[in-house]
Amino acid sequence: MKTIAIIDDDIHIGDMLREVLVQEGYSVLRAYSGTEALYLLSQNKPDLVLLDLGLPDMDGMDIIRKTREWSSLPIIVISARTQEKEKVQALDAGADDYITKPFGTFELL
């Protein structure tokens, strides 16, 4: 079973993502802050990360950069930030893809 880490401080979006992914047969890990995310990623080594950039204690860009120091695990940014510059910065920092909120479950899967 593949494991996906959801890093998003929005409880409703995180719960929706978890529900969809569990129904598709994935195991899901959750983090609600950057600090929690970095610990979760280093301890669990998921197969994929779904990362919101707007977290309460740090910017998601920092999580991408710090994770890239020790891992090449796939990171998909899921963010309400729609500026082209922000998307390019996330991809340049090491994100593998960028999905803009709101999005549909078919797009995510």
Tell me which residues of the chain have a pLDDT lower than 50. none
- The whole-number pLDDT of residue 109 equals 87
Contact 73, 67 (CB under 8 A): yes
Question: Which runs of consecutive H residues, i.e. helices, occur in 24-83?
Answer: 34-44, 60-68
pLDDT computed for residue 101 by the predictor: 87
pLDDT tens digits for range 23-37: 999 999 999 999 999
DSSP-derived 3-state class of residue 80 = coil
Tokens of 39: 């610990």
Cα separations in angstroms, 83 against 26, 66, 68, 100, 105: 31, 23, 23, 10, 22
DSSP assigned state of 59? B
Report yes or no: 45 and 81 within 8 Å, Cβ to Cβ. no
CB 27 within 8 A of CB 18: no
What's the confidence (pLDDT) of residue 75?
98
